[in-house]
């Protein structure tokens, strides 16, 4: 093997290691804060602070919503049972959770599951209101997820998604 081949293999291995470290760092960033099952509301508030929103959960419990950051790519949801004890925590803005949205769901359903949208746009000419959430798909692809509501009924018509232009490289015209 020549020196160039050896160096190429070393560079290739270093690149693989760097990509793996970046991927793990991205996964760690999406890991929710630790909230032990059975923690009281007071314990959760002492650890995470006051929630941005509190919504009623099915079965008499509550869901505390913690949107993160100025661009809102994560929203942690802490679920409490009717006894006021934590039953779990999850990051709500994921493609797996968005895949569960179905036509006919209400605005309240979407708010309970995903929290406050990043933007709301009313398309009067289409009779439609669109809620947009920023999120990431593995590994670190920045996306926008849109929930399209019928403006008259307040029920989901459809969904769509796209690459987030906030994170796209600018287009340069050379010539």
The answer to whether residues 118 and 79 belong to one domain is no
Residues 139 and 118 in one domain: yes
Question: Is residue 18 one of the residues assigned to a domain?
Answer: no
Q: Give the residue from 54, 75, 91 where a domain finishes.
A: 91
Indicate which CATH number applies to the domain containing 105: 3.30.1450.10
Q: Please provide residue 159's backbone torsions phi and psi, each rounded to the nearest 5 degrees.
A: -135, 160
How many domains does one find in the chain? Answer: 2
Mean pLDDT by 10 residues, the chain (175 residues): 47 39 42 85 95 90 89 90 94 94 96 92 96 84 94 97 83 76
| 97 and 85 assigned to the same domain | no
Same domain, yes or no, for 78 and 98? no
Residue 115 lies in a domain: yes
- What pLDDT sits at residue 139? 67
Long-range pairs of 52-57 with CB within 8 A, sequence gap ≥ 24: 52/115, 52/116, 53/111, 53/115, 53/116, 55/111, 55/112, 56/112, 57/112
Flag whether 20 is in a domain: no
pLDDT for the residue numbered 2: 53
pLDDT at position 166: 83
- Is the residue at 173 inside a domain? no
* Same structural domain, 137 and 160: yes
Torsion angle of the four alpha carbons 80, 81, 86, 89, in this order, in degrees rounded to the nearest 10 = -60
pLDDT number for residue 152: 96
Residue 6: per-residue pLDDT: 46
pLDDT (0 to 100) of residue 70: 64
Domain end marker among 48, 70, 91:
91
Q: Indicate whether 2 belongs to any domain.
A: no
Domain span at residue 53?
32-91
């Amino acid at each position: 093997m020549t020196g160039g081949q050896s160096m190429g293999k070393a560079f290739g291995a270093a690149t693989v290691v760097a990509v793996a470290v970046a991927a793990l760092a991205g996964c760690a960033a999406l890991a929710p804060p630790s909230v032990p099952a059975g923690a009281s509301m007071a314990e959760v508030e002492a650890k995470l602070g006051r929630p941005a929103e509190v919504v009623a959960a099915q079965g008499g419990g509550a869901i505390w919503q913690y949107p993160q950051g100025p661009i809102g790519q994560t929203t942690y949801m802490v679920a409490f049972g009717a006894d006021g004890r934590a039953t779990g925590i999850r990051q709500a803005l994921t493609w797996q959770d968005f895949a569960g949205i179905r036509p006919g769901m209400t605005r309240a359903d979407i708010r309970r599951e995903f929290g406050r949208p990043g933007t709301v746009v009313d398309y009067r000419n289409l009779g439609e209101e669109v809620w947009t959430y920023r999120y990431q798909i593995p590994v670190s692809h920045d996306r926008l997820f849109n929930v399209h509501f019928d403006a008259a009924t307040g029920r989901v018509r459809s969904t769509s998604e796209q690459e987030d232009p906030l994170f796209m490289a600018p287009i340069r015209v050379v010539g």
